[in-house]
Structure 1
């Protein structure tokens, strides 16, 4: 695998540090998009930072020997939980609006 070659060359710790740095850069890019929502340059930077984080997530899965199936299972679990919470919150809001709260 190509990612294993990269990890072996730079080292696991260095790539973990790089993953953290890329996450921080994504946070900054998101913040800038919120402040300047119609700035194409900011949107393009956000796309680039999303790609960088996805690449680093792939490396983290290799470094920590996490199978895709485990990540996919967790994603499904969390998506289901988000939808459940959303539905509950939606019902609460509809109920409070119904009673004028």
Structure 2
């Protein structure tokens, strides 16, 4: 009879129990969803104003092309949004982030082909 032995001993890895999940608190998710719903109204307002006014869109594009971030923020603020926001832009488009304490709503729009 022929017995084949491995040159290296093989040991089974010990079984590890996964870490317990933290307790579930749905109230945090609910509060975040309520905040996001309020930001959704601002997002709708901003998009409605930008889609209705080519003059506003042209002014935002002109300010962005000249890298005038303050002017872009001022023009967006003039649309009537109430939430805090941040704006970033590049040659391809613009990204407006509406934010509150527990949530963030991001709008990304293209302006080049």
Higher relative contact order (CA 8 A, sep 6+): 1
Greater fraction helix:
1
Greater fraction strand:
2
Normalising by structure 1, we get a TM-score of 0.33
Normalising by structure 2, we get a TM-score of 0.30
Structure number with bigger Rg: 2
